[in-house]
Amino acid sequence: MTLVARTEGDPHALLLAAEGQLRALDRNLAVFPAQTMAAYVRASLGPARLGAMLLGIFGLLGLGLAAVGVFSVVAYSVSQRTREIGIRMALGAQPGSVTRLVLKEGMIPVTIGIILGLGVGIALAQLVASLLYGVSATDPITFAGVIGLLAAVAFLACYVPARRATKVDPLATLRCE
């Protein structure tokens, strides 16, 4: 049996009084530790919260790995093209145009990946629809937020090597040629 009571005041005082009354009625009655409804709900949602927290941590780790991967590929591409970038700058290319060139070449694969991921995400959204509460599986705000976050992280990962590419010394490049 379960006893549920509503109180206007401090629920802990009522818990102690109710537990004392139950024990006074029957000493052999097994009375489990009394708790408030908030504590009961918090305890019952514990496994779900732990799972959500772990999924969030793994998601952030995945985002970090993706950022490191994009950064590494773009940085490697810039290092392979140092002479070309130096010659462009020696011929009068502005640092802004070099930055735009590197950003464009880094963001094209990211954009393709976001578009493909959006298509697959929408197609597979119905598989997780039963696990969601208070939001639809194809919530446009959620999809827009994720796309924005991924694009911002990828842009930052491309921007750092792009800025480094503008620091190439054209004279040193021409001497090597």
Rounded Cα–Cα distance for residues 31 and 23 (Å): 8
Strand, helix or coil for residue 52: helix
Structural contact between residues 151 and 117, judged by C-beta atoms closer than 8 angstroms: no
Predicted TM-score (pTM) above 0.95? no
User: What residue ranges do the domains of the chain occupy?
Assistant: 11-42, 57-176
Structural contact between residues 29 and 44, judged by C-beta atoms closer than 8 angstroms: no
Q: What is the pLDDT along the chain (177 residues), one digit of tens a residue?
A: 777 778 887 887 888 788 888 888 888 887 777 778 888 888 888 998 999 899 999 999 999 999 999 999 999 999 898 888 888 888 888 999 999 999 999 999 999 999 999 999 998 888 888 877 778 888 899 899 999 999 999 999 999 999 998 888 877 777 766
Rounded Cα–Cα distance for residues 71 and 12 (Å): 55
Query: What is the per-residue burial (b if ≥16 Cβ within 10 Å, else e) of 73-108?
Result: ebbeebeebbeebbbbbeeebeeeebbebbbeebbe
